């Protein structure tokens, strides 16, 4: 099958750690150009902007966008207006309305739009979804706690307006929860802890419901030592534990299982399938939950934070 020529935009940590290796190993894509103000990929044609990249390489059929959400809308519009297929790193945009607008524009242009949630592709997420499908859900506990200084060193944008703060990793947990729970999630209340010198939260608690089940989410960006990316679900058949970001699962009466993580290779296989079938995939449930949390939240000022 003919390979798809793709450009990669935003050569930062996530692009280098995940997108570049996934594309290098892909049977579906050829990475032929990049666009970034600060980064380059060895051996790949590099440009300073999307417009320059597309002008220089008109054979590009698809673009993968890995820049921060703030300001991404205009970049995405440039791609869609040029008639190229588009893949968005999570979160897809700075606001829900931006993502909705992009979906409509992509449909009108007749191109694929894929708003990705990489944590949904973790090894044991599908197994958790399938097991929970026939169980009564009694309660859900989400604990997503990591060290911002380790995972986002010096990335001031993440705590600025539009950067999502602790919801940048927290939205990964919400993307898994909305995939595995049989009933939709709704936000009841939230508490956001915002450093005195920042705009976005460094910690958050959210109370939600899924059907009749209470869902408690605890997000923390100041976790040192062991990192926690865990979801526990109490059911009528016992406790399900999905840990290590969805890569390990423990079911009642069964030995724990850990699959091989192929989050980004799976995303690019999905993108190839969408392009070849003429479809799109734009699920906005996780970002809508974040928006709802901001709407109802009590905000608390906490100690200033510096990297």
pLDDT at 38 (0 to 100) = 86
Are residues 32 and 44 in contact, defined by beta-carbon separation less than 8 angstroms?
yes
Mean pLDDT of 205-218: 98
pLDDT tens per residue across span 111-170: 999 999 999 999 999 999 999 999 999 999 999 999 999 999 999 999 999 999 999 999
- Mean pLDDT, residues 97-119 taken together: 97
Q: Considering the candidates 13, 90, 104, 145, report the single residue annotated as catalytic.
A: 90
Q: What is the pLDDT of residue 144?
A: 98
**pLDDT over 90 (residue 34):** yes
pLDDT digits (tens, 9 = 90+) for 41-69: 999 999 999 999 999 999 999 999 999 99
Which pLDDT score is estimated for 100?
A: 98
Half-sphere exposure of 21 (CA within 13 A, CB side): 9
Q: Which helix (H) or strand (E) holds 254?
A: none
- CB contact at 8 A, 195 and 153: no
CA dihedral 80, 265, 280, 99 (to 10 degrees): -60
Q: Is the pLDDT at 1 greater than 90, yes or no? A: no
Nearest alpha-carbon partner for 183 in 147, 219, 224, 137: 137
User: Has 90 been annotated as catalytic?
Assistant: yes
- Tell me: pLDDT of 87 over 90: yes
Q: In what order do the strands lie in the sheet with 45-47?
A: 45-47, 29-35, 4-9, 62-65, 85-88, 113-115, 281-282
Residue 153: count of CB within 10 angstroms of its CB: 10
Alpha carbon distance 22, 266 (integer Å): 9
CA distance 198 to 36: 26
Cα 228 to its chain centre, rounded Å, is 17
- The residue whose two tokens read 């588009």 is 86
Q: What is the pLDDT of residues 23-33, one digit of tens each?
A: 999 999 999 99
Q: Which domains does the chain have, with CATH numbers?
A: 4-115 (3.40.50.720), 119-259+291-302 (3.30.360.10)
């Amino acid at each position: 099958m003919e390979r798809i020529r793709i450009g990669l935009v935003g050569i930062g940590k996530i692009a280098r750690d995940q997108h570049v290796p996934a594309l290098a190993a892909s049977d579906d894509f050829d990475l032929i150009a990049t666009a970034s103000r600060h980064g380059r990929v060895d051996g790949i044609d590099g440009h300073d902007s999307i417009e320059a990249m597309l002008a220089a390489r008109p054979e590009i059929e698809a673009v993968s966008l890995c820049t921060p959400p703030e300001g991404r809308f205009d970049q995405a519009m440039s791609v869609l207006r040029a008639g190229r297929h588009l893949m968005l790193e999570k979160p897809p945009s700075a606001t829900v309305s931006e993502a909705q607008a992009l979906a409509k524009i992509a449909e009108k242009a007749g191109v694929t739009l894929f708003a990705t949630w990489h944590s949904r592709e973790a090894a044991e997420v599908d197994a958790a979804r399938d097991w929970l499908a026939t169980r009564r859900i009694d309660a859900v506990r989400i604990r997503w706690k990591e060290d911002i200084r380790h995972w986002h060193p010096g990335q001031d944008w993440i705590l600025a307006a539009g950067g999502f703060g602790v919801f940048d990793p927290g939205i990964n947990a919400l993307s898994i929860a909305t995939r595995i729970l049989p009933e939709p999630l709704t936000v009841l209340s939230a508490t956001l802890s915002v450093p005195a010198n920042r705009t976005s939260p460094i910690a958050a608690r959210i109370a939600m419901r899924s059907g009749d089940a209470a869902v408690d989410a605890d997000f923390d960006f100041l976790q040192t030592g062991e990192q926690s990316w865990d979801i526990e679900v109490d059911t009528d058949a016992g406790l399900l534990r999905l840990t290590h970001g969805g890569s390990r699962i423990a079911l009642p009466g069964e030995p724990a299982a850990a699959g091989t993580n192929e989050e980004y290779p799976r995303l690019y296989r999905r993108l190839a399938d969408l392009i070849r079938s003429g479809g799109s995939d734009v699920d906005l449930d996780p970002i809508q939950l974040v928006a709802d949390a901001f709407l109802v939240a009590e905000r608390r000022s906490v100690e200033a934070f510096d990297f």
